[in-house]
Amino acid sequence: MGSKLWSGRFTKSTHRWVEEFNASIAFDQVLAEVDIQGSLAHVAMLGKCGILAPEEVSQIRRGLERILARVQAGTCTFSVEQEDIHMNIEKMLTDEIGPVGGKLHTGRSRNDQVALDMHLYIRMQTVEMVRLLYELNQVLLMQAERQIDTILPGYTHLQRAQPVRLSHHLLAYVSMFERDMERLMDSYKRVNLCPLGAGAIAGTTFPIDREWVAAQLGFADIYDNSMDAVSDRDYLLEFLSMASIIMVHLSRLAEELILWCSDEFNFVELDDAFCTGSSMMPQKKNPDIPELIRGKTGRVFGHLVGLLTTLKALPLTYNKDLQEDKEGVFDTIATLTGCLKLMAPMLETMKVNQKQMRQSAEQGFANATDLADYLVDKGLPFRQAHEVVGRLVLHCIQERKGLLDCTLAEYQSFSGLIEEDIYDRLSCEQVVEARQSAGGTAKAQVLSSLSKKKDKAAKI
């Protein structure tokens, strides 16, 4: 009976299935270091405010430091009986230094303690995710630079649309990941708030100094409402939302890699280090890594919807439901970290089949818009030009040839406006170079965007 830290008002022990069901230690032990970091700041504040005597503070501090060393060395064993990381550590502390350890929890509840731990943890992970995104973008920028003159078909509806530079295509992803970094950095100000000192719900009767302890822990400010402090999980929803958006971006890139390395496209070859074979078909080289990145997107979305659902209509303030915030968040962090860590070297080592990309760009009438634009230059309204080129394309499909294979006489049977200079105008280079508008695929535009993105990255 007496083994639980809260057993005083109980006359019975819990049902034999309750202990394991109720416990969170299996997953919240990842919070061990931040929990101790929070306790060290809390006890220092109790000392500074005269709530604990200096000797008590140093005893507790030394005890916590010894436990921290064991946590870092990986030699701690946690017990389900102590339910969660907070009570496991408090129990270790009293085992270590005796009853004075019981003074650590003065003026504090597990409700503000767990909120603090999660803020410290997510704050750290937010920085780490920005770092991983930054590294991925460095690889994309390097490839964009390397492939500045590689041309491939750009697609709409997965049908060849207009030729583009591969660098332009890759820089589109750089833009997405830049926004992801910006979102994470913006969210930092909402994570960087200290809930400690809210107590269980209403504050505490002890003369604590919330601002001081918040500053010790590097927070920019404190939660201004104790009830909000213990029940807010918005920052976790925000983190899961941002993670979901990052996974959307990663999954689109992964999907393109999967398509591109199929024999049907044959645009890239992924390094053997990122592929696996088949147990039956000896010829297979499967793109498992991008497939897994695409596949793992589902679980991250699931965690977002899971937490939204847990929080929906939850009355204030702390409810045990909130313990369900952790596994999804921790799994999201592990998933995202794994995906970002693999995407970067996979892109770095990928071989690009420039010839095949170019050949595809030259087929499929990716220059048809340019013929229409040519007729517009000659004074034909765009709608009519579109019609003429449409008929010419149909003629070419029937004749099984491309626009550039038509003779001038053939062109002129569709429109008298077409002259000899059309051949230049419809060449792949010209089609790409003609797109000089801001953000377009012409070399000068892509180079300027590349250098702007590099400058931006250097400022992160």
Footprint of ligand ARG (CB under 6 A)? 24, 28, 84, 110-111, 114, 318, 320, 322-323
For residue 322, the minimal CB distance to ligand ARG (Å) is 5
Residues 340/250, Cβ–Cβ less than 8 Å:
yes
If the CB atoms of residues 149 and 327 are measured against ligand ARG, the closer one turns out to be: 327
For residue 125, the minimal CB distance to ligand ARG (Å) is 17
Q: Cα–Cα distance between 254 and 252 in angstroms, integer?
A: 5
* 278 noted as active-site residue: yes
Q: Cα–Cα distance between 417 and 376 in angstroms, integer?
A: 10
For residue 442, the minimal CB distance to ligand ARG (Å) is 55
Residue type, 344: A
Residues 242/177, Cβ–Cβ less than 8 Å:
no
Q: Cα–Cα distance between 24 and 211 in angstroms, integer?
A: 30
| Alpha helices (H) in 261-325, listed in sequence order | 288-311
* 303 noted as active-site residue: no
For residue 313, the minimal CB distance to ligand ARG (Å) is 18
Using CA atoms of 365, 366, 370, 372 in order, give the dihedral in degrees to the nearest 10: 50
Residues 295/225, Cβ–Cβ less than 8 Å:
no
Residues 245/217, Cβ–Cβ less than 8 Å:
no
Cα–Cα distances (Å) from 134 to 125, 176, 182, 293, in that order, read 14, 12, 11, 18
User: Measured in Å, how far apart are the chain's first and last C-alpha atoms?
Assistant: 55
Would you tell me how many other CB atoms lie within 10 Å of the CB of residue 303?
23
Beta strands at 221-222 and 193-194: parallel, antiparallel or unpaired: parallel
For residue 318, the minimal CB distance to ligand ARG (Å) is 6
Q: Cα–Cα distance between 239 and 118 in angstroms, integer?
A: 12
If the CB atoms of residues 71 and 114 are measured against ligand ARG, the closer one turns out to be: 114
If the CB atoms of residues 82 and 251 are measured against ligand ARG, the closer one turns out to be: 82
Residues 303/349, Cβ–Cβ less than 8 Å:
no
If the CB atoms of residues 24 and 192 are measured against ligand ARG, the closer one turns out to be: 24
Q: Cα–Cα distance between 250 and 343 in angstroms, integer?
A: 8
Closest CA relative to residue 118, chosen from 180, 28, 223: 28
Phi/psi for 193 (5° steps) reads: -120, 145
If the CB atoms of residues 24 and 167 are measured against ligand ARG, the closer one turns out to be: 24
For residue 306, the minimal CB distance to ligand ARG (Å) is 15
If the CB atoms of residues 114 and 170 are measured against ligand ARG, the closer one turns out to be: 114
If the CB atoms of residues 110 and 210 are measured against ligand ARG, the closer one turns out to be: 110
Q: Of 13, 58, 262, 278, which is the active-site residue?
A: 278
Catalytic sites, residue numbers: 157, 278
